[in-house]
Chain A
């Protein structure tokens, strides 16, 4: 059974940093692209970043480019999102999700399994 479990969310001051983790199980982690998607309270979904299975390629939304870094440790079956220079508008539930197939190009992948999300609150 595929499972994705996010952790690392919490309350952080503006300008601060936080690292989210997503522990994966139930599939060959290194074979699939992974993505982060966020949802501000009461708002819609916003794509944040994607990384290929080999970690050879990463892509970011303009709103987080230069501040967030996606990475993965395939030996630990874990996906990460390092978030720096956090702003109030980064407040959201952050979801990790798995690509639906091994052969899709990262930004063209559908994402078929999602974690339960972890809440990040940026406030003083």
Chain B
């Protein structure tokens, strides 16, 4: 299965917004509404930030939001804070009883 395509890096200053894209095909991110986003700090386990494209688990700040257009899902972090510096991964069902992750995006807070 092909991985979903994410930019390797993104950055922004504190208080700014950063958007990370996750591009797939009509067979995965584009065809389904089961895209999730995970945050991972160095040496730590991943944390669920967004599921089903736009839904936010309880406890996740509303600064984190998800969207989708065509075959590309996106995660936007508004009002960047120092603790948002981490790796972010998208994932999606690919319709053949399989799951694919994106390659990950390292977010740097300048």
Contact = CB atoms under 8 A, between A and B. Distances in A.
A107 interface: yes
Contacts of B48: 100, 110-112
A110 B35 CA distance: 8
Given A45-B89, A47-B98, A59-B97, A110 B103 contact: no
Given A100-B57, A108-B93, A110-B52, A44 B104 contact: yes
Interface in A22-47: 35, 37, 44-47
Interface stretch (A7-15, A70-78, A82-90, A113-121): A113-121
A95 interface: yes
Interface string B70-92: 00000000000000000101010
Interface in B18-59: 32, 34, 36, 38, 40, 45-48, 51-52, 57
B93 A45 contact: no
A50 interface: yes
Given A45-B89, A59-B98, A61-B98, A108 B45 contact: no
Contacts, number: 61
Contact of B1 (A37, A62, A116): A62
Contact of A45 (B32, B98, B101): B101
B45 A45 contact: no
A47 B91 contact: yes
Contact of B45 (A44, A61, A115): A115
Contacts of A62: 1, 98
B103 A107 contact: no
Contacts of A107: 93-94, 97-99
A59 B97 CA distance: 6
B21 to A, nearest CB: 15
Contacts of A115: 45
B109 interface: no
Interface of A: 35, 37, 44-47, 50, 59, 61-62, 95, 97, 100, 106-108, 110-112, 114-117
14 contacts: A37-B46, A44-B103, A45-B46, A45-B89, A46-B101, A47-B91, A59-B97, A95-B46, A107-B93, A107-B98, A110-B36, A110-B57, A112-B48, A114-B46
